[in-house]
């Protein structure tokens, strides 16, 4: 397993729409394992392949308290969302140190392949529902800061660019 580099906002590659995974093969299995290791190391609860510059429809998530219950979603597809929504405080491994409110559906149902390539139906609410919606946005090339006002988004962009410049010096 290997730690992967996480793209940081405003990297334009974060806006790439991911293509479906063609087959759950050894390459995808390795990518899943590397993504999980990267997510755990970065203290995140979810990571989309887009964030590690692989533009395929693959997400890893672990919202368990023990950080020992990983969920893998390959080619996820939302099939139902509740009409009820809540404003949730979100952060993102691609926008480190930034947290803000995003309106998300309270409950969702998602069809996806699991890590073994088997069809699954996942019914989620709470943090898991928020996390799945957040990571699926990444697969569509959308970062959570795009839900914020242009003023907030530009401030975050400036802050991120300044931090990236500082890291290079």
Task: Look at residue 164 and give its three-state secondary structure.
Answer: helix
134 is in an annotated binding site: yes
Is 135 annotated as catalytic? yes
- Letter string b/e over residues 141-165, b meaning 16 or more CB atoms within 10 A of that residue's CB: bbbbbebbeeeebeebeeebeeeee
Q: What are phi and psi of 33, to 5 degrees?
A: -60, -45
92 is in an annotated binding site: yes
55 is in an annotated binding site: no
Query: Is the CB of residue 127 less than 8 Å from the CB of residue 45?
Result: yes
Set 41, 89, 135, 146: catalytic member: 135
The whole-angstrom separation of Cα 90 and Cα 20 is 26
Binding site residue list for Fe cation:
92, 134, 138
Q: Which residues are catalytic?
A: 135
Binding site residue list:
92, 134, 138
């Amino acid at each position: 397993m290997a730690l992967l580099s996480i793209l940081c906002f405003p990297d334009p590659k974060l806006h790439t729409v991911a293509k479906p995974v063609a087959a759950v093969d050894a390459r995808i299995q390795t990518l899943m394992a590397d993504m999980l290791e990267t997510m755990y190391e970065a203290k995140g609860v979810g990571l989309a392949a887009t964030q590690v510059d692989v533009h395929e429809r693959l997400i890893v998530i672990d919202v368990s308290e023990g950080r020992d219950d990983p969920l893998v979603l390959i080619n996820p597809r939302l099939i139902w969302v509740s009409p009820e929504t809540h404003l949730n405080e979100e952060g993102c491994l691609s926008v480190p140190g930034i947290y803000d409110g995003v309106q998300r559906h309270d409950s969702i149902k998602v069809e996806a392949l699991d890590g073994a390539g088997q069809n699954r139906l996942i019914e989620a609410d709470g943090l898991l529902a928020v996390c799945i919606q957040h990571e699926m946005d990444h697969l569509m090339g959308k970062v959570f800061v795009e839900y914020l006002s242009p003023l907030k988004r530009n401030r975050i962009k400036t802050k991120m660019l300044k931090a990236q410049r500082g890291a290079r010096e």
